[in-house]
Amino acid sequence: MSEAAPVRDPRPLGPAAYLLCLRGIVWREALRFLQQHARFVAALVRPLIWLFVFAAGFRAVLGVSIVPPYETYILYEVYIAPGLVAMVQLFNGMQSSLSMVYDREMGTMRTLLISPFPRGFLLISKLLAGVAISLLQVYVFLAIAWFWDVRPPLIGYAAVLPALVLSGLMLGALGMLLSSMIKQLENFAGVMNFVIFPMFFASSALYPLWRMNEASPLLYKICVLNPFTYAVELIRFALYGQISWPALAVVAGCGAVFLIAAIMAYSPSKGLIARRGGPGG
């Protein structure tokens, strides 16, 4: 084996090539998403049902007192809107995870993994593509919610963007990590039951944590340990032009941990793929 490069070796891949690759991955994800009209509709209808039906029904039952970042008494709809935004991202993250399992079964994942770019970069690009799609969903949802009297200050719509990117990355990385552990597509129902629902319900998305504490101190502790709570709070504060530093720290920290774990899970040497019995044939 010689270190001397063979005559026809291609030029090394520079930063421009990395950008092209990232752009291509986002572009493909967007194309796919736009073609799956049903998925777009489902992604919107889900939080809207919560907003229109659930929130309306519970408005009378659940009084929400003044909790930061709110400065006045608020309607229940207004309280759960940030939680629903986070739910959109949670579903989107899990949906990407599902599509990665699907891609792996169908083999399309292979075309991504034989790209010469470093695998960590490919996976992060894939995550960013998922986040871009979740942003689209979230802003359409917020636009509709505006007509339903969920009207955060204008500055909030801009301030929430970085928060959404961070929370989207954290939830996407979690999904990616899960996708490396799910062996088959059918197991996605398990993800629904054991990840999405517990994460959503045991969080501050639907009720403030102090209320939870009154109901059950144990549940309160679970909610406090749930990273999803912090995604919700990060989004909630950002929507009102504020930063929740603890939420920011937890979301960034958990995001980094999930991301590193996911990249390791997909790395060729430490990878879980290799230990899982490999391909047939």
Partner 1 sequence: MLEGSEPLALKIGMVSHAFGERKALDNVSCAIAPSRHCVLLGLNGAGKTTLFSLITRLYDNTSGAIEVFGHDVRRQPQLALRQLGVVFQQRTLDLDLSVLQNLIYHGALHGIPPARAKRRAEEELERLGLAARAGERVRKLSGGQMRRVEIARALLHRPRLLLLDEPTVGLDIDSRQSILDHVRQLCRDQGLAVLWATHLIDEVQPQSQVIVLHRGRVLAEGPRERVVAEAGAGDIREAFSRLTRADDAKGGAKDGDRAA
Residues, the chain, total?
281
Residue nearer to partner 1 on the CB measure, 217 or 279: 279
Q: Is 18 in the site for partner 1 (CB under 8 A)?
A: yes
CA distance 205 to 230: 10
> Residue 240: is it exposed, middle or buried by C-beta count within 10 angstroms (0-12/13-18/19+)?
middle
Pattern of binders to partner 1 over 118-137, x per CB under 8 A?
Answer: x---x---------------
Which residue, 261, 199, 260, is CA-closest to 230?
199
CA distance 54 to 48: 9
Least Cβ distance, residue 236 to partner 1 (angstroms) = 36
Binder among 75, 115, 219, 222 for partner 1 (CB under 8 A):
115
Query: Which helix (DSSP H) or strand (DSSP E) does residue 263 occupy?
Result: helix 245-266
Q: Are the beta carbons of 218 and 199 closer than 8 angstroms?
A: no
Which residue, 36, 11, 218, is CA-closest to 133?
36
Contact segment (CB under 8 A) with partner 1 among 51-59, 148-156, 236-244, 264-272 equals 264-272
Which residue, 147, 141, 97, is CA-closest to 235?
141
Q: Are the beta carbons of 265 and 180 closer than 8 angstroms?
A: yes
Residue nearer to partner 1 on the CB measure, 124 or 166: 124
Residue written as token pair 């719509």: 157
Least Cβ distance, residue 16 to partner 1 (angstroms) = 8
Q: Is 116 in the site for partner 1 (CB under 8 A)?
A: yes
CA distance 226 to 118: 32
Q: Is 63 in the site for partner 1 (CB under 8 A)?
A: no
Q: Is 264 in the site for partner 1 (CB under 8 A)?
A: no
Binder among 2, 61, 63, 217 for partner 1 (CB under 8 A):
2
Side-chain-facing half-sphere of 160: CA atoms under 13 Å: 25
Pattern of binders to partner 1 over 84-113, x per CB under 8 A?
Answer: ----------------------xxx-xxxx
Contact segment (CB under 8 A) with partner 1 among 29-37, 55-63, 200-208, 245-253 equals 29-37
Residue nearer to partner 1 on the CB measure, 116 or 246: 116
Q: Is 49 in the site for partner 1 (CB under 8 A)?
A: no
Least Cβ distance, residue 270 to partner 1 (angstroms) = 9
Rounded to an integer, what is the distance from CA 112 to the centroid of its chain? 21
Q: Is 36 in the site for partner 1 (CB under 8 A)?
A: yes
In the structure encoding, which two tokens stand for residue 132, read together? Answer: 């871009």
Total residues at interface with partner 1 (CB under 8 A): 49
Binding site for partner 1 (CB under 8 A): 1-2, 5-10, 12-13, 16-18, 20-21, 23-25, 27-28, 31-32, 35-36, 106-108, 110-118, 122, 268-269, 271, 273-281
